[in-house]
Amino acid sequence: MEPIYLDYNATTPVDPRVAEAILPYLVGGLASGFGNPSSSHAYGRRAYLAVEEARSQVARILSCDAAEIVFTGAGSEADNLAIVGVAEVYRERGNHLITSQIEHPAVLNTCRYLEHRGYRVTYLPVDGECRVQVADVARAITPETILITVMHSNNETGTLQPIAEISTLARSRGILVHTDAAQSVGKLPTRVDDLGVDLLTMVGHKLYAPKGIGALYVRSGVRLEPLIHGAGHESGRRAGTENVPSIVGLGKACEIALSSLLKEGERLGALRDRLTRKLASSVPGLARNGHPSEHLPNTVNVSFPGVDGEELLAATPSVAASTGSACHAGRTEPSAVLMAMGLSRERALGAVRLSVGRFTTEAEVDQAAEALVASWRSLVERRS
């Protein structure tokens, strides 16, 4: 039997409805949508219309104008385009950026790259529940601050950040705000006007679309320096012939997610809570990491006492999960996110991230909990 998949924050399987929507743009003869969207003939026109329909589908889940959506090759590219693109254009205003210590490497390493180019970056701490404090943001702002980039939801703990409050503060100072919402889009409402952001990153493979496709929301009037130079694709913001099949897939994935956003969020929350209760009732001393209420509906990060999380998962081959973000998988060092929260090294090393998704069932949650508990007991007994 295949392992029970509880690692939806790492990636999601492509929804069959998404795959069906993609197929005409991936295979087929002259009647398919294989054309170049920049071509003026009928084949190009079919591809162009498909891209623009997908742009509208993405815009609807964010409640923005379609013209504000830029398709990219990944979420990491979208983060880079937002951060470097703003830094380059607005450097005459200042050279200071603000971010947090718990960001995805696509943000942290981009900020470090800018530091090597003469920019200054403030890396804000988080509290014990993995939240950035708005007061810390306010204290970090200087007359040279041009961008604040803080993720909407943390990929390891699921904790939501106070993006709307940060945006209100930033707007009062004339500072742009970017948020990486890769883990949030499709799981809970991410309307850009409610969040107040100027730029927002999303990615297909967290949303039941293919890997290798992302999108960046860019509020009208915000200027960006392109990372990829060439022809005038994406309104001059990202050169390169469009990846039509994957763009179509991202659009369809957004349409599906939006159609059942609140209902599916409730279902995922119930599954997550069921899993958490079953683990807590059988593992004395189990500790939950992250904010108790401000979090993604599908994610729980828990520390098993007396064992290493990697060791626990290795002893439980029937469950596919993670000890942190996929970008850090396999490392023996504790999660940088959990350490930033002030957790002890032992508790951080004992952490496991469990994330449910669209195809998770109650039976799978129950079986996974039983398997993890059995492995934990075996490991503890072996050490005693």
Nearest to 185, CA basis, from 220, 148, 213: 213
Angle of CA points 348, 5, 356, to nearest 5°: 70
Q: Rounded to an integer, what distance in angstroms lies between the CA atom of residue 99 and that of residue 82?
A: 13
Q: State the CB neighbour count (10 A cutoff) for residue 40.
A: 9
Which position among 64, 111, 130, 327 bears the catalytic label? 327
Describe the strand order of the beta sheet including 287-289 as a list of residue ranges.
287-289, 299-303, 351-355
Phi, psi of 278 (to 5 degrees): -65, -40
Look up 327 and say whether it is catalytic.
Answer: yes
Q: Rounded to an integer, what distance in angstroms lies between the CA atom of residue 280 and that of residue 197?
A: 37
Q: Rounded to an integer, what distance in angstroms lies between the CA atom of residue 291 and that of residue 234?
A: 38
| DSSP-assigned letter for residue 64 | S
Nearest to 236, CA basis, from 376, 9, 70: 70
The identity of residue 79, as a single letter, is D
Phi, psi of 69 (to 5 degrees): -100, 130
Please enumerate in sequence order all residues whose Cβ is within 8 A of that of 97, keeping only pairs 6 or more positions apart, or say none: 83, 87, 111, 114, 119, 120, 121, 122, 145, 146, 147, 148, 149
Which token pair is 59?
């815009």
Q: Rounded to an integer, what distance in angstroms lies between the CA atom of residue 75 and that of residue 60?
A: 19
Catalytic residues: 327
